[in-house]
Amino acid sequence: MDGIEHTARVSASTLYEAVALGLRAIKKSSWAGEIPEGLTNVKVHILDDPIEHTVQMKVFRNWISREGGSPSDRATQLKVREILR
């Protein structure tokens, strides 16, 4: 994947849900190959607004594995974990 950029269009409720759905979509594609663990950033473009977010994979993975937080945060974490299974 060195030097190759992949794009996946997804519909999500949260930033991290968008990251998880995008990763899942790319992983399912037979032509995309494996996504390396060393991947450092994922860009998320919001189509309804001219907004772009960049998420560090280290921060994303820490958030997924973090315990506690608000009930809303926990519900979102569970949803994202399920997407990545």
Please tell me the pTM assigned to this model. Answer: 0.62
Sign of CA dihedral 56, 60, 84, 9: negative
Q: In this predicted structure, what is the pLDDT of residue 33?
A: 66
d(Cα 78, Cα 56) in Å, to the nearest integer? 19
What's the token pair of residue 80?
């994202």
- pLDDT confidence of residue 17: 92
Would you state the pLDDT for residue 57?
87
User: Cα dist. 51→13, 18, 45, 47, 76 in Å?
Assistant: 15, 14, 6, 8, 21
The low-confidence residues of the chain, meaning pLDDT below 70, are 1-3, 32-39
Give the integer Cα–Cα distance in Å for 72 and 77: 9
